[in-house]
Amino acid sequence: MGQGNLPLLIIMAKITILGSSAAVPDAAHANSQLLVTLKNTTTLIDCGDSTYLRLIAAGIGVDQVSDLILTHFHPDHVGGLPAFLITLWLLKRQSPLVIHGLKDTLDRAEAMMKLYQWETWKGFYPVSFNRLKEEELTSVISTDEWKVFASPVCHLIPTIGLRMEFASDSVAAYSCDTEPCAAVMRLGKEADLLLHETAGEVRGHSSGVQAADVARQAEAKQLVLIHYPAEKSAELINEARANFAGEVTLAEDGAVYEV
């Protein structure tokens, strides 16, 4: 077969919803956390409740996660970090882990770990911290498989949203916790998949209508509502569908999106 007839190799990415809830979880909805899986890269986004158990359910091994992105230092996004890190240590993890985030977030994360005296845990696997500039579209990860960019968004404390550009030319974006803002619209510009929080129309958060407005202005193809109060899920998705012509779905724990 000639070279011109070789099949095109497309590197597919999977985004797994490890948790979909806003700050108060329930039995079916853990705190919002994501897993991005590529052929050579597995990245965890945030580390709330029961992270290790949710990775096991997703078929992820003890050495598989190479990167962890912490979006901000609120308990529902970082509260599970000590338990997660020590669990990997107890299971004899050896491979390095890179933790990415804003200086404010990582300084606090390190201070939290020092309370547990993690420097005394013998044989601990290498952990490094990548402190990001608090600037729009700052590079977080760049490999042949994908590029990840972070921008500050409008939450109650320093927080980043993410844009993920894959080698397949597909794009996913994650608002994280934020009010509607231009930075999220730019992160989600013409994205194949926009995951947008819907905790409610209060300071630092967004409603279903507002998430839909962002998706429409960003010209995203698909909107996924995440970080929502479970008891309002039906209301939120109806609001979003009434205000966005593209596909709208509700993130559910364990759901997988291919991009």
CATH for 62: 3.60.15.10
Determine the average pLDDT of the residues in 125-136. Answer: 98
Boundaries of domain holding 172: 11-258
Model pLDDT for residues 152-182, shown as the tens digit of each residue? 999 999 999 999 999 999 999 999 999 999 9
pLDDT for the residue numbered 4: 41
Task: Name the β-bridge partners of 97.
Answer: 127
Separation CA 173–CA 189 (nearest Å): 9
List active site positions.
Answer: 76
Residue 5 lies in a domain: no
Residue 3 lies in a domain: no
Separation CA 146–CA 15 (nearest Å): 13
The radius of gyration of the chain from alpha carbons, rounded to an integer in Å, stands at 18
210 close to 240: Cβ distance less than 8 angstroms? no
207 close to 244: Cβ distance less than 8 angstroms? no
Task: Name the β-bridge partners of 149.
Answer: 139, 163
Residue 220 lies in a domain: yes
Q: Which pTM value belongs to this model? A: 0.94
Model pLDDT for residues 45-97, shown as the tens digit of each residue? 999 988 999 999 999 988 999 999 999 999 999 999 999 999 999 999 999 99
Q: Identity (one letter) of the amino acid at 63? A: D
79 close to 110: Cβ distance less than 8 angstroms? no
Question: What is the DSSP pairing of strand 247-250 with strand 97-102?
Answer: unpaired
Contacts of 23 (CB under 8 A, 6+ apart): 31, 74, 75, 76, 199
pLDDT for 6 beyond 50? no
Q: Give the confidence band of 114 by pLDDT, cuts at 50, 70, 90.
A: very high
pLDDT for the residue numbered 12: 80
Residue 6 lies in a domain: no
Angle separating helix axes 81-90 and 103-115, nearest 10 degrees: 60
Residue 4 lies in a domain: no
Q: Give the confidence band of 7 by pLDDT, cuts at 50, 70, 90.
A: very low
Give me the chain's average pLDDT, please. Answer: 94
Task: Name the β-bridge partners of 35.
Answer: 16, 44
Counted domains in the chain:
1
Residue 2 lies in a domain: no
Q: For a pLDDT cut of 70, what percent of the chain falls above it? A: 96
Model pLDDT for residues 76-87, shown as the tens digit of each residue? 999 999 999 999
176 close to 71: Cβ distance less than 8 angstroms? yes
Model pLDDT for residues 194-233, shown as the tens digit of each residue? 999 999 999 999 999 999 999 999 999 999 999 999 999 9
Determine the average pLDDT of the residues in 93-104. Answer: 97
